[in-house]
Amino acid sequence: MIAAIVFAVLIPVLIAYCYKNAYARPPNFPPGPPSLPVYGAFWIVLAHGFNDLATAFRKIGEKYNTDIIGLFMGPVPTVVVNDSKLIKEVLNREELDGRMDIILFRLRSYWKKLGIFFTDGYFWHVQRRFSLRYLRDYGFGRRDNTLETVMEGEIKEMLDIRMGGPKYPAEKEIVKGDLVYMPYYFSVPFINGMVQVLSRSTLPRSDYHALWALSRGTVLFQRSSTDMGGALSLTPWLKDVLPNYSGYNTLVKGNQYLLDFYRTLVEDALKTHDETYDRHFLDMYITKMKQEMKEVERTTYSVDQLILTCTDYTFPAASAVEFVLAMLVERLLLQPEVQDKIHEEIDRVVGRDRLPTLDDRVNMPYLEACIREQMRVDTVVPLGVPHRAMTDVKLGGYDVPEGSMISVNLTMLSMDKEIWGDPENFRPERYIKNGMLDVASDKNLPFGAGRRLCAGETYARQSMFQVFAAFMQAFSVSTADGKPLLKPAPRIQGIITTIPEFWVKLTPRT
């Protein structure tokens, strides 16, 4: 009897408590969905778009008639911005430059806060300033003759794998007769280019298998992540209880390829380091690290930090840029007239007797516009990397508490009809004015903005042009089965937008 009475009293109290907490919000917090126990609004978000969080937040914004959504992801107050103007404001406000401290970021960096992408404060300022200052000396962020020559050599090898056929076992997984496997056919020049920037060396063709493994591992990690954290970040103990089901083991496996690859390079640099002569960026960092360890009580420099710096700068080169080009290849299959226009421009500007170079870029606005349009149509990083409010801030008339997670829905910017007119159409001509590339017309932000602007933007844009121009100069593209492609493949949304790997037929342009 007593138990029944207690039960009868507790149930209403529990319901009232859950109801109160479901709608409890900080003062003047943006409108949004209620919170459920443990996971907050996470399940509600998934219900609006399980495989596409950017679309889910668009739908939620429409439901609550707001461009700024306020919700709780677990216990964390979270703001998602769908408005194009406010997106730019968030990316350019210094007090919103923080990063969240979640398991997704910790597991990739030896359970510490290391690297460049996912750190903030003094640590981030010091490490980012040093790395960018000296990486520029090796072509990261500006033109460099040595790097461009190396890239040209890597591109020639890429072309030869198809033209001359596979020479090593791993190449047989990428090229089969006149078919090549996308996006990994593009991977090596981008990754070896970054290896060149960091260590003034590249892996020979006989070791390309290591670069393809690294690319596959990075893609595995990206696809196993979600921009907003997911159940694993909200309840980290799942890694011990359900390591496979929660995705933890897959994340660790994918990330380990990059860590192991760069630990080998860094350890080799340590063994051969000479304090009187810096051969490359790794040497410059090691010299600074040893100096700081002697002179500073607490330093931000360490071997692990150097490894994570290398992995962070290689991350986009090992996954994002080749998928941009792979989706652009798919676009050529959907709209063959785009391929014809690219071929005409290459033949007119470059011809067939030499490879395109960065000097040709200014005279090839259509190809450059195609790359830009592809990054708009398929938003590269749909929700960016989550920011953290470093202090209480006012945003769009609402109050955002310190420590809140803030995400910008970049898909809303890239598909804004007021900006683009017909955003659903792939139309490279929108960036061309009077026969020249009109950079000012590109309002898209595939690399972010502000102090969190992706440091690899210049490298990515230059290398994508070099690789794709040479690729299109050499080949005509068609489907593997010879049938017209009628619709695009489904998109896979992780940290970045990818598509399922696919085979494509390449016919040499003789």
- Which residues contribute to the annotated binding site? 454
Nearest-Å Rg of the Cα atoms of the chain is 24
Strands 179-182, 175-176: pairing kind: antiparallel
CA distance 274 to 162: 41
CA distance 229 to 232: 7
Please give the distance of CA 315 from its chain centroid, rounded to a whole number.
7
104 burial (CB, 10 Å; 0-12 / 13-18 / 19+) is buried
- Angle of helix 457-474 relative to helix 320-334, nearest 10 degrees? 40
Dihedral in degrees, nearest 10, Cα atoms 128, 131, 137, 141 = -40
Residue 68: beta bridge partners? 81
Please give the distance of CA 396 from its chain centroid, rounded to a whole number.
27
Helix, strand and coil percent figures for the chain, each rounded to 5: 55, 10, 35
Which residue, among 387, 407, 395, has the nearest Cα to 80 in the 3D structure? 407
CA distance 113 to 375: 30
Q: Are residues 401 and 503 in contact, defined by beta-carbon separation less than 8 angstroms?
A: no
Neighbours of 7 (CB within 10 A): 9
Q: Are residues 405 and 387 in contact, defined by beta-carbon separation less than 8 angstroms?
A: yes
CA distance 499 to 492: 5
Q: Which residues make up each annotated binding site for heme?
A: 454
Q: Are residues 305 and 114 in contact, defined by beta-carbon separation less than 8 angstroms?
A: yes
CA distance 470 to 215: 21
CA distance 163 to 161: 6
CA distance 211 to 34: 45
Q: Are residues 377 and 500 in contact, defined by beta-carbon separation less than 8 angstroms?
A: no
How many angstroms separate the Cα of 492 from the Cα of each of 191, 426, 441? 22, 19, 28
Neighbours of 408 (CB within 10 A): 30
Neighbours of 201 (CB within 10 A): 15
- Structural tokens at position 435: 């026969």
CA distance 292 to 228: 36
Place of tokens 């299109």: 472
